Amino acid sequence: MFVAIGILLWLLSVSLSSPEGFQYVSDIAGHFFMKFILWGILTALSYHIVGGVRHLIMDLGYFEELESGTQTAKIAFGATVFLSLLAGILVW
């Protein structure tokens, strides 16, 4: 995730530096490899957020048993897949 933050901060820095920098970021964002990297970053971020919400709910004392914990893990994974597909639609 730290590499992803570095990539995003670099893109932001270059795009805000000048009109030419913005054009450069726009040009490289159109390539397949960069779109794939951005999709991967968004997928990892969605997994992190969904897992964090799941753990916050478990910290409140819900779904702590093995059976319900397994079910919420499957639900969290399904939500991540759904968000990943939405991110793919957004990027492409």
Domain ranges of the chain: 1-30, 31-92
Instruction: List C-alpha distances in Å: 29 to 18, 33, 71, 74, 87.
Output: 16, 9, 38, 33, 15
Q: Tokens for 84, please give them.
A: 């990943």
Q: Does residue 31 have a known ligand-binding role?
A: no
* Helix spans in 1-92 (H): 2-17, 19-29, 32-59, 66-91
User: Model-level pTM?
Assistant: 0.85
- pLDDT higher than threshold 80 for residue 1: no
pLDDT digits (tens, 9 = 90+) for 39-61: 999 999 999 999 999 999 999 99
Residue 18, SS3 per DSSP: coil
Looking at CATH, the fold of the domain delimited by 31-92 is given as 3 helical TM bundles of succinate and fumarate reductases (1.20.1300)
The reported pLDDT for the residue numbered 2 is 84
Contacts of 48 (CB under 8 A, 6+ apart): 1
